Structure 1
Amino acid sequence: SAAAPAPTLPPNPDAALRFLVRFLPIARRTIQADGLTLFYVRYWHPIFSAWREDRRLVTIRYHPEDLSRIFVSSTRKEFIEVRYADLRRPPISLWEQRAAVKALRDEGQRSISEVMMFRTIEQQRRLIADAKSMARKVKRHSPPAREHSTHGIFEQGASPSTASASAQQPDPIDYSKPVTAYDVEQW
Structure 2
Amino acid sequence: MRFWLAFLPEQERTLRPNGIHLFGLRYWSAALSADVGRSNRRLLVKYDPRDMARIFVRRPSGNFVEARYADLTLPSVTLHEAVAARRTLLAKGRQEINTRAIVGTAIAQRQLVDAATKKTAAVRRGGAGKPKTNVDDRGWGSLRGIDSSKPVPFVEDTE
TM-score normalised over the length of structure 1 = 0.64
CA positional deviation for 1:141: 2.1
Report if the CA contact (8 A) 1:43-1:83 is conserved. yes
How many residues are matched?
A: 134
Instruction: Summarize the alignment of residues 75-94 of structure 1 with structure 2, pairs less than 5 Å apart.
Output: 75=60, 77-94=62-79
2:26 matched to which residue of 1? 42
Which amino acid in the other structure matches residue 125 of structure 2? Answer: R
Runs of 4+ in 1 over 6 A off after TM superposition: none
Say which of 10, 15, 38 aligns to 1:31.
Answer: 15
Change (3 A) 1:94 1:150: farther
Say which of 22, 27, 48 aligns to 2:6.
Answer: 22
SS of structure 2 residue aligned to 1:33: coil
Which amino acid in the other structure matches residue 3 of structure 2? Answer: F
5+ long unaligned stretches in structure 1: 1-16, 152-187
* C-alpha distance in structure 1 between counterparts of 2:114 and 2:96, whole Å: 28
1:72 matched to which residue of 2? 57
1:174 matched to which residue of 2? none
> CA offsets, 1:125-182, max 9 Å, x none?
110111012112212322573x62379xxxxxxxxxxxxxxxxxxxxxxxxxxxxxxx
* C-alpha distance in structure 2 between counterparts of 1:76 and 1:149, whole Å: 74
Higher relative contact order (CA 8 A, sep 6+): 2
> CA offsets, 1:94-122, max 9 Å, x none?
11111111111222234422222112111
Report if the CA contact (8 A) 1:30-1:55 is conserved. no
Query: RMSD value over aligned CA atoms?
Result: 2.2
TM-score normalised over the length of structure 2 = 0.74
5+ long unaligned stretches in structure 2: 136-159
Report if the CA contact (8 A) 1:71-1:81 is conserved. yes
Which amino acid in the other structure matches residue 20 of structure 2? Answer: L
Change (3 A) 1:148 1:99: same
SS of structure 1 residue aligned to 2:37: helix
